[in-house]
Amino acid sequence: MIRANLIPAARQEAKQQRARRRAWLGVCGAYAGLLLTGYALCAAAWGADGRGLQDQLANEEADIKTSKAELGTLHQKLEQARRKLQANRAVGDQPDWSVLLAVLASSLDDELVLTLCKLHELGQPAEPRPPMRARGVPPAAAPAGQEQFLLTIGGYARSQAAVSQFVLRLERGRLFRTVNLLKANREPFLAGSAVAFRVECSL
């Protein structure tokens, strides 16, 4: 039995074209969906990697800033230590004058009062010495390379005996190489009189 197709050929062709278009649209849509999915996955992966790299760079910059700050602090501490070392060296090379003051203070008593206390480094100009009138000998030479100093002490005492005892106490202190009494004269002092004395001690 032969079936006759009464649909016009042009209409059949148009129907087939529509079917083919729908098929192609489906294929293209599926392909586009796959592309979009792949792009989304790649973008997500790249975005995560980018954020991780940015975080790593930020951490490195923070570490560099911290290291610079610590280095600056270390430089300051090093400079302070260097200055302290220089100061200690400068002070350490100087005589300890507190020992001299302690010996001088322990040699004083209520019988005399000081009006003069000068320390001269030998070689520098000092006050002219009056003629020696009492005990004492010229200072002995100090060891080579050792600094020499001359301490001049002056004041008033109630008696000659008080001056003599003061000189003896200075000698017993064993700090001075020599103790020379240069002057011990009675002079007017306040409402009365006292013995004016002057002593030189070599160091």
Q: Taking 90 as the threshold, does the pLDDT of residue 59 lie above it? A: no
The three-class DSSP label of residue 64 is helix
Predicted model pTM: 0.47
Q: CA 182, CA 173: separation in Å to the nearest integer?
A: 19
Give the confidence band of 152 by pLDDT, cuts at 50, 70, 90: very high
Q: Taking 60 as the threshold, does the pLDDT of residue 128 lie above it? A: no
CA angle in degrees (0–180, nearest 5) for 103-104-110 = 120
**How many other CB atoms are there within 10 angstroms of residue 74's CB atom?**
10
Tell me, what's the pLDDT at 160? 93
Question: Average pLDDT for residues 81-107, to the nearest whole number?
Answer: 74
Question: Average pLDDT for residues 61-81, to the nearest whole number?
Answer: 80
Tell me the one-letter amino acid at 144.
A
Q: CA 67, CA 61: separation in Å to the nearest integer?
A: 10
Q: Taking 60 as the threshold, does the pLDDT of residue 134 lie above it? A: no
Distances (CA, A) of 112 to 29, 118, 167, 195: 121, 17, 12, 9
Q: Taking 90 as the threshold, does the pLDDT of residue 70 lie above it? A: no
Give the confidence band of 64 by pLDDT, cuts at 50, 70, 90: confident
Joined together, the tokens standing for residue 99 give 């020992």
Q: Which of 12-16, 77-81, 155-159 has the lowest mean pLDDT?
A: 12-16
The mean pLDDT of the chain is: 76
Q: Taking 70 as the threshold, does the pLDDT of residue 133 lie above it? A: no
Tell me, what's the pLDDT at 164? 93
Joined together, the tokens standing for residue 108 give 């004083």
Q: CA 107, CA 103: separation in Å to the nearest integer?
A: 6
Tell me, what's the pLDDT at 136? 43
